[in-house]
Amino acid sequence: MHPVRLSHRMNRLTFPFTIVILILILDQVFKIWVKTHMYLGESIPVFTDWFYLHFTENEGMAFGMKLGGNTGKLVLSVFRIIAVIVMVVWLVTLSKKPRFDKWLAVCLALIIAGALGNILDSAFYGLIFSSSHYHQVATLFPPEGGYTGFLHGKVVDMLYFPLIESHYPDWFPWVGGEEFIFFRPVFNLADSSISVGVALLIIFQKRFFAKQEQK
To the nearest whole number, what is the mean pLDDT of the chain? 86
pLDDT at 69: 61
pLDDT at 66: 56
pLDDT at 65: 53
Q: CB atoms < 10 A from the CB of 63, how many?
A: 16
- Find out whether the peptide bond into 183 is cis, omega within 30 degrees of 0: yes
pLDDT at 178: 82
Give the mean model confidence (pLDDT) for residues 125-139.
Answer: 95
What is the rounded distance in angstroms from the CA atom of residue 85 to the CA atom of residue 96? Answer: 17
The pLDDT tens digits for 92-113 are 998 888 888 889 999 999 999 9
Residue 213: pLDDT band (50, 70, 90) is: low
Evaluate if residue 143 carries a pLDDT over 80.
yes
pLDDT at 116: 95
Evaluate if residue 32 carries a pLDDT over 70.
yes
The pLDDT tens digits for 33-78 are 999 999 999 999 998 788 999 999 987 555 445 555 667 777 888 8
- Tell me the three-class secondary structure of the chain, residue by residue: CCHHHHHHHHHHHHHHHHHHHHHHHHHHHHHHHHHHHCCCCCEEEEECCCEEEEEEEECCCHHHCCCCHHHHHHHHHHHHHHHHHHHHHHHHHHHHCCCCCHHHHHHHHHHHHHHHHHHHHHHHHHHHECCCECCECCCECCCCCCCCCCCCCCEEEEEECCCEEEECCCCCCCCCCCEEEECCCEECHHHHHHHHHHHHHHHCHHHHHHHHHHC
Catalytic residues: 157, 191
pLDDT at 100: 82
The pLDDT tens digits for 169-203 are 888 788 777 887 777 889 999 999 999 999 999 99
pLDDT at 77: 82
